[in-house]
Structures are given as structure tokens and as C-alpha cells.
Amino acid sequence: MRVSWITEDEHVQSVVEYGTEAGKYSAKAAGEQTHYQFLLYRSGAIHHVKIGPLRPSTTYFYRCGGSGPEFSFKTPPAELPIEFVVVGDLGQTKWTRSTLRHVESKEYDVFLLPGDLSYADTLQFLWDSFGRLVETSASGRPWMVTNGNHEIESIPIILPHRFEAYNARWLMPHRESDSSSNLYYSFEVAGTHVIMLGSYTDFDAGSDQYKWLRTDLARIDRLRTPWVVVLLHAPWYNTNEAHQGEGESMRKAMEELLYNARVDLVFAGHVHAYERFTRIYDNKADSCGPMYVTIGDGGNREGLALKFKNRGSPLSVFRESSFGHGRLRMVNETHAHWAWHRNNDADAVEADQVWITSLSSTKSCWHDTSSAARDEL
């Protein structure tokens, strides 16, 4: 696990003390410190420390920098079952707080966020307030995130398109997954391979991201890792009037790779609503394609995307403009349960749910995979 935190004092050591008993730290790890400058803003000292090896399904108590408050977190299980929470376009509003309150009302193992975290949009103090807002949640469970359009920081003529604040603050395991960029990476936990893609960096067939994805997919052992899940920001399929077609070029570039690898699910954000599609490949229902879900309804200050196309699509199974979050429980090697929970005053109402069969156990799909497709992988 990597522990990240920020201090105003740059002389604080980048160390984490930790152990399995409160107030007793049997281990200690040192890491690195960085900072960044954005116009007149200079960040505090950003500390990143990797701790471990850690035991699965174990609560660890820890403190950062040699002093200060004690935190605790629980490690994910080593084997199935495992439960992921999925929240997109989070922001920092009263709706955000409602979503996080509903998320924390029930146990889960890993938090997945398909882009648009703080909605700082170059206002750097909003990155700091976002950190304070999510600290309780993010200090207790692994938060695995990817970038969205609101992570892009640019000022015409003065500053180019970049992700400096995001990359400095939210360091993900890209080096550990042989990626050259923090904007895309993968990790494995409890029989599940999770791939985080970058919608706003090069993704065509000649790009580093495309080549990395092809290699990463080819390495997956579906006997050991039966589930493959992909997260990205701009949805490839969308019947909402908002952001129509914005993920189309990425879909055309990468969809075949995901299809040939028999990816089980693809989660996206960007559209501030919830929508679940059937299994799809190339704009047609396909039992061997991924199930697509848009879940960009975490909170954010821009509000909900209220207008869906009147006619919709036969590929779209359920859609609703409400704030909420999703829970994906990998029950065993063959079956998973997905549920979207609407934020409804005091309770998170389970408004949509479906059982999913892993494509790794669907023999007909693998029989249909041609040798040419395998060569592509």
C-alpha cells in the first residue's frame, strides 16, 4: 500500500510507522517527498510512502511523519469474494458528502474512481480542500483513481495542457504495472485485474498507452484472475444528451483490444447520470463483449445531466439522472453482483442491480476468439 499525505512543514520526514495494534508500531517505512508550483501557488510537502508487505483482510494502525493522529485501514482480501465501490465525478458539494456518507454506511474493500476528483480546475486550494473532505474515507480503504477532464490544468498561451497537480498528489502504481505514465496503469487484487485508462492522453494504435494496454491485457492469466474490469472517464456508449460522442475516438482505437481480451466490465464517468448497458461490441449487443456502465453521478458542482435522448437505445438497460454510487461484489470465480444505489435522503436505495457471469467461464466466447485476435493481443 502507498500512503500519501501533505504537510505545510517541508521538514517533516516522509515516514510511516504501522502495526496491527492501536498505538503499537512494529514496522516503519520511508518514502519520498515532492511538491509542485502553479503560477503563484506552491504546494505543501507531498509525501508518498510504500508500506508492506501486508497481510490480507487485516486492519493496520499507522501514523505519518513520526507524529500526529493515528489512522487505520483494512487491507483487501487475498481471495474472492471482494467488494468494490465505484464513484465517478465526485467533486466537493453537499451531494458529494451524501454520496460518501452512503458509501461508508456499509463495508467494502476498494474504492474505484473513474476521473474528475476535486473539480479544482486550476484553483489549487480546491485540491487541498478535497483532500480534507475525503481524508476519512481515503485513509481507511485503498482509493484507486484515474484522471478526467477536470484534472487537466491549462491556461491559454500561459500554460499548456497538463496534469501536474493530479500526478503529484495522486500517485498510482503505474511503475509497478510497467506503465510510463501515471495517467494509465493496472493492478490485481483478489482474482480481479483492474485497468485504469486515460481518456485525455494519446490512445491511438501508435501511442504508448495503446501499446501498454495491449501488453497488459496479454499478461492476464484468466485461470488465476477470472475478472477483468476497465475504468476510463469519457464513456464509449452514452444515450444522454450531455457529452455525446466524446469517447468515440478512444472507442474506435481501443475497443477491439478489450473485446478480444474478454474484458467483463467497463466503467466511465463524465456524464453526470447513471446508465447501464448490456454487453456490447461495436455498437451491437454481443454476449462476449463488456458490460458498460456510466456512473458520473458522485456529486460535483455542475449538477446532474438531466436530459436523455427520447428514443434511447436498445443497448441501454437502465438510466436515471440521480446522484449515487455503485457496488461491485465479485462473489466467486464465475459470478459477480452489480448494484447502483441512489442517494435518497437518509438511505442509499438500491435502484438497479444485475448478476454478471465472468467471460472467463463462458466457453463459447473463447472458442469464438480467433488466432488472429490472440496475435493482436
Give the per-residue pLDDT at 161. 73
Cell numbers for 263, please give them: 474484458
Strands (E), 212-273: 227-231, 265-268
Whether the Cβ atoms of residue 196 and residue 228 lie closer than 8 Å to each other: no
- Cβ–Cβ contacts within 10 Å for residue 315, how many? 16
Identify whether the C-beta of residue 319 lies closer than 8 Å to the C-beta of residue 342: no
pLDDT at 372: 36
CA distances from 62 to 33, 111, 242, 275 (A): 18, 20, 43, 39
Radius of gyration from C-alpha coordinates of the chain: 20
- Express each pLDDT in 353-374 by its tens digit: 999 999 999 999 986 444 334 3
- Residue 94 is predicted with a pLDDT of 95
pLDDT tens readout for residues 211-255: 999 999 999 999 999 999 999 999 999 999 999 999 999 999 999
User: CA-to-CA distance for 182 and 147, rounded, in angstroms?
Assistant: 9
Name which of 182, 164, 133, 108 is nearest 299 in CA terms: 133
Q: What is the pLDDT of residue 374?
A: 39
* Catalytic-residue membership of 243: yes
The H or E element containing residue 354 is: strand 347-357
How many Å is the maximal CA-CA distance in the chain? 61
CA 49 from centroid of its chain's CA atoms: 20
Of these residues, 47, 233, 243, 272, which one is catalytic?
243
343: Cβ contacts below 8 Å, ≥ 6 apart: 95, 98, 99, 102, 322, 323, 324, 325
Average pLDDT, the chain: 94
Question: Which cell numbers hold the place of 133?
Answer: 473532505
**Spatial distance between the Cα atoms of 236 and 248, rounded to a whole number of angstroms:** 6
Residue ranges of the chain whose pLDDT lies below 50: 368-377
Residue 345: what pLDDT?
Answer: 66
Domains of the chain by start residue, with CATH = 1-75 (2.60.40.380), 76-376 (3.60.21.10)
Among 298, 313, 303, 291, which Cα is nearest to 244's? 313
Instruction: Supply the pLDDT for residue 370.
Output: 41
Q: Which residue blocks in 58-161 are alpha helix, DSSP H?
A: 94-104, 125-138
Q: Determine the pLDDT at residue 371.
A: 36
